[in-house]
Amino acid sequence: MNQKKLVGEKAASFIEDNTVVGLGTGSTATYMVEALAQRVKEEKLSVTCVSTSNVTKELAIDLGLNVKELSEVDEIDLTIDGSDEISPDYQGIKGGGGALLYEKIVAVNSKKVIWIVDDSKMVDHLGAFPLPVEVIPFGSEHLFEKFKEKGYKPAYRMQDAANKFVTDAGNIIIDLHLEKIDDPKQLAQELESEVGVVEHGFFIDIVDQVIVGNKNGEVEVLTV
C-alpha cells in the first residue's frame, strides 16, 4: 500500500474551486500535485498554484496547472506540503528536499497549512531526522565550526561526492545531527540569531491539519 499516494490524493480533495494553492516539495507532495491536476482536468476547477521549489513548479506546469509567482498573488488559501518529522505537539522539521526556505515563505503567507505524511513521520520528539540549516556560502565555514563546537554534529549537504548541494535561492545547507531536540523553539531562536543563517528547518506553530497514512491503507486527518 502506497501511503504517500493515499495521503497525497486525500489532500487534493481539500482543494476548492477558485482558490490559490501552495504546492509543496517532495515525493509525497508530488502525488498531491498529480491528483490536483487530475481534479482540475476532470472537474474544470479554477485553481492558481504557487510552488515551493523549481522542481514542483516544473511538474505543475507540465501537468497543465496554472502556476504563478508568490509576488503575483495577494495571499494563499491553502498550502499542502510534506514533513520529515512531526512531534506530538505538531511542531515539524522540514527541508529534507532542500526547499525549506521557499516552503516556509509560502507557508507563512497561507491562510491554512496541511502536512501530508506517512505514519513513520509522527515521532515522540524531533531530532532523529537531521535539522537543515540554510546558510549563505560566504562565511559558512565559520558557522560550520561554531556548530561543531556546540556539539551539533554538522555536515554539509552534498549534491555529489565533490559538490555541495545548492538551494533554489543559491545557498548551501548544513545538516545538524542532533538525535534529540529538547527545546525546538529555543534552538530555533538561537539559529535565527546567527549571522549568515538564512533559515532553519524548524516549522514552529505553522500547521493547521496533518493527514497521516498508515500501512493498512487508512488515512487519518488530525486537526491542530
* Confidence class for position 22, pLDDT limits 50, 70, 90: very high
Are the CB atoms for 60 and 33 separated by under 8 Å?
A: yes
Give 194 or 217, the one with higher predicted confidence: 194
Domains in the chain with CATH codes = 3-122+204-215 (3.40.50.1360), 131-198 (3.30.70.260)
* Confidence class for position 216, pLDDT limits 50, 70, 90: confident
118: pLDDT strictly greater than 90 = yes
For residue range 67-88, what is the model confidence (pLDDT) as tens digits?
Answer: 999 999 999 999 999 999 999 9
Asked if 103 is an active-site residue, the reply is yes
- The alpha-carbon radius of gyration of the chain (Å, integer) is 17
Catalytically annotated residue among 103, 145, 190, 218: 103
| pTM of the entire predicted model | 0.95
* Confidence class for position 1, pLDDT limits 50, 70, 90: low
pLDDT at 187: 98
